Amino acid sequence: MTWKYNLGVEKEVHNLILSLGLPSEYIGFHIRGGDKFLEHKIEPIENYFSRNETCIKNVFVLTDDYTVISNIKKMYPDYSVYTLCEVSEHGYFHGDFINQDTAYKRRKLIRLFASIDILAASKLFIGTFSSNPGMYLGMRSPTISKGVDFDNWIIW
């Protein structure tokens, strides 16, 4: 009722998800970066992994900074990491984003939508409840959601 794509967006989201070749069972992380330190402190990567009480070693990571992905691969080499974050991304900065053209914004938003759907289908979601993805998933799927900043999702 609150999350329905038009046919074109639905197809793009679906194709992006399929392109990752995700395994049937994975955990999802939303690891903040970019200008989000203005809203809440950036949590260390270790805090996310310490909340994983499963033996699942497949992770999907929603982030806007590919440095996070590189660090995870170095710190946790036994994990398989999936992401839609591009190597060229080094944080989301709203002032920069709003100055981009419509095609760029659309492409980035489609990737965000696909990432949210991927996280919603994860066996376990670990993120920050002080972020929009964390608030949304914490409210939508509280039984699979764990926060690294707060114990429960909140509305700011």
Total number of residues shown for the chain:
156
In a domain, 1, yes or no: no
Task: Quick: pLDDT tens for 97-140.
Answer: 787 788 988 988 899 999 999 999 999 999 987 777 777 777 77
Helices (H), 37-155: 45-50, 66-75, 94-98, 102-120, 132-140
In a domain, 46, yes or no: yes
Determine which of 26-35, 36-45, 145-154 has the lowest per-residue pLDDT on average: 36-45
How many CB atoms neighbour CB 4 within 10 A? 7
In a domain, 107, yes or no: yes
In a domain, 156, yes or no: no
In a domain, 152, yes or no: no
How many CB atoms neighbour CB 101 within 10 A? 7
Residue 39 sits in which domain range? 7-147
Band of residue 77 on the pLDDT scale cut at 50, 70, 90: very high
In a domain, 154, yes or no: no
Q: Is the pLDDT reported for residue 153 higher than 80? A: no
In a domain, 31, yes or no: yes
How many domains is the chain partitioned into structurally? 1
